[in-house]
Amino acid sequence: MMNARVVVTEYGGPEKLKVVEEPLRPVQRDEVLVRVLSAGVALADVMRREGKYPGSPRVPFTPGYDAVGVVEELGEDVSYVRKGERVAVFYNGTGGYAAYVYAKSDELYPVPDQLDASLAVAILLNYVTAYQMLHRFANVAEGERILIHGASGGTGTALLELGRLAGAKMFGTASKAKHDTVAHYGAVPIDYRREDFVQAVRERAPEGMDAAFDPIGGDNWERSFQTLHPNGRFVGYGYTSVLGQGDSSQWMKDWASMAANRTTPKGNPAYLYSVTTLRMEHPEWFREDLKHLFQLLADGRISPIIAARIPLREAAQAHQLLETSQITGKIVLINR
């Protein structure tokens, strides 16, 4: 039986994504083979494709954090899943863009049968990230004011939806065309292209933010610090400003500085969030939070926005669409 796998052949643009056909190998001990139904697409995939993500893998490699599929084959001594069972797979940033994937026990999570695979895969990276930043790091309480950058993206809309459930008063930066989406969740939209978000926050909430969530980095981090209440918390969870730049050296410097100091220049608590790091440090949190979020999805209390469902073999198109910043929500790859 043959597998189709999307591979980054060399660092560069979306055209560097190629589909490789290869025979499936036998499953190894304590390993399962999963037939993928849906795989998630993330901006970090784009950064790895360009070679700008810290510790980017050597080419060739297959991108992708997450996938949802069905167990096809079991390796020796595997008793924690059964053939035909629906599962989620979560990797440390590479491996998800394939028709079939191999996974170990610590990379597998049960998925309720009634859940749509595309909605379920949106939960794995984006909603777990949003939930853990809100509740494991910033400890956002009802009535607190929060600032969400990139509010129309996959993690941004997850923060909006989960922030609404938490009873937060939300402010979200997004382009004007996406303000209706931000307002839909009860947040105050801020046009980052035409407004100075620091000034906009001061005008609309002069007491300042209780928490700010920033995936952009660079000068945006510095300006986010200025929006905080004296007791406000900052959470950085990416550095998308590196896209389109020549190198990622400043990212490494800023990340190292923040990790060492754990505060903003004015002394506000500052956190750096990495879903893969936290999953390794506290695997029980990932399982607990994922189970909770799947239940919220099953109960209809959350509903991820799927911007596009794109065939796996057209992953380059998915990256092009993501890089235009014209989409709202999550892009998923569909294995047909």
Q: Which pLDDT score, from 0 to 100, does residue 242 have? A: 83
Decide which of 256 and 79 is more confident: 79
8 A C-beta contact, residue 102 and residue 130? no
Question: Residue 100, SS3?
Answer: strand
The residue count for the chain? 336
**Do 184 and 242 belong together in one domain?**
yes
8 A C-beta contact, residue 170 and residue 211? no
Among candidate residues 277, 295, 320, the one where a domain is terminated: 277
Q: Which pLDDT score, from 0 to 100, does residue 247 have? A: 63
Inform me whether the pLDDT recorded for 249 exceeds 80.
Answer: no
**Do 130 and 258 belong together in one domain?**
yes
**Do 133 and 248 belong together in one domain?**
yes
**Do 208 and 71 belong together in one domain?**
no
Domain interval for residue 68: 2-111+305-334
At 264, which CATH number? Answer: 3.40.50.720
The span from the CA of 333 to the CA of 313, in Å, is 8
Provide the whole-model pTM: 0.96
The span from the CA of 236 to the CA of 213, in Å, is 6
Average pLDDT rounded to a whole number, residues 131-142: 98
Give exposure, 209-229, as e/b (b: 16+ Cβ within 10 Å): bbbbbbbbbbebbebbbbbbb
Q: Is residue 119 part of a domain?
A: no
The span from the CA of 151 to the CA of 137, in Å, is 19
Q: Which pLDDT score, from 0 to 100, does residue 251 have? A: 76
The span from the CA of 163 to the CA of 140, in Å, is 8
The C-alpha angle 164, 134, 195, rounded to 5 degrees, equals 70
Q: Which pLDDT score, from 0 to 100, does residue 259 have? A: 82
**Do 230 and 319 belong together in one domain?**
no
**Do 237 and 140 belong together in one domain?**
yes
8 A C-beta contact, residue 6 and residue 19? yes
Q: Is residue 316 part of a domain?
A: yes
Phi, psi for 334 (deg, rounded to 5): -110, 130
In the chain, where do the E strands start and end? 2-8, 17-23, 31-41, 66-74, 86-90, 100-104, 108-110, 145-148, 169-174, 188-191, 209-214, 228-236, 270-272, 306-311, 330-334
Q: How confident is the model at residue 258 (pLDDT cuts 50, 70, 90)?
A: confident
Decide which of 255 and 209 is more confident: 209
Q: Which pLDDT score, from 0 to 100, does residue 277 have? A: 94
Q: Which pLDDT score, from 0 to 100, does residue 246 have? A: 58
Q: Is residue 77 part of a domain?
A: yes
Q: Which pLDDT score, from 0 to 100, does residue 260 have? A: 86
Tokens of 222: 């510095």
DSSP assignment of 203-231: HH-TT-EEEEEESS-THHHHHHHTTEEEE
Pick the closest to residue 65 from 98, 99, 102, 40 (CA basis). 40
Q: Which pLDDT score, from 0 to 100, does residue 324 have? A: 86
**Do 12 and 99 belong together in one domain?**
yes
Q: What is the mean pLDDT of the chain?
A: 95
At 60, which CATH number? Answer: 3.90.180.10
Q: Which pLDDT score, from 0 to 100, does residue 327 have? A: 86
Q: Which pLDDT score, from 0 to 100, does residue 241 have? A: 84
The span from the CA of 1 to the CA of 126, in Å, is 32
Q: Is residue 291 part of a domain?
A: no
DSSP state of 101: E
Count of the separate structural domains present in the chain: 2
The span from the CA of 45 to the CA of 111, in Å, is 24
Question: Residue 46, SS3?
Answer: helix
**Do 71 and 191 belong together in one domain?**
no
**Do 94 and 159 belong together in one domain?**
no
> What are 291-306's pLDDT values in tens digits?
999 999 999 999 999 9
Inform me whether the pLDDT recorded for 245 exceeds 70.
Answer: no
Q: Is residue 289 part of a domain?
A: no
Among candidate residues 277, 296, 322, the one where a domain is terminated: 277
Return the minimum-mean-pLDDT range out of 89-93, 169-173, 243-247: 243-247
Inform me whether the pLDDT recorded for 231 exceeds 70.
Answer: yes
The span from the CA of 294 to the CA of 122, in Å, is 10
Q: Is residue 150 part of a domain?
A: yes
Q: Is residue 296 part of a domain?
A: no
> What are 155-182's pLDDT values in tens digits?
999 999 999 999 999 999 999 999 999 9
Q: Is residue 74 part of a domain?
A: yes
**Do 139 and 272 belong together in one domain?**
yes
Decide which of 240 and 139 is more confident: 139
> What are 27-59's pLDDT values in tens digits?
999 999 999 999 999 999 999 999 998 888 999
**Do 224 and 134 belong together in one domain?**
yes
**Do 134 and 26 belong together in one domain?**
no
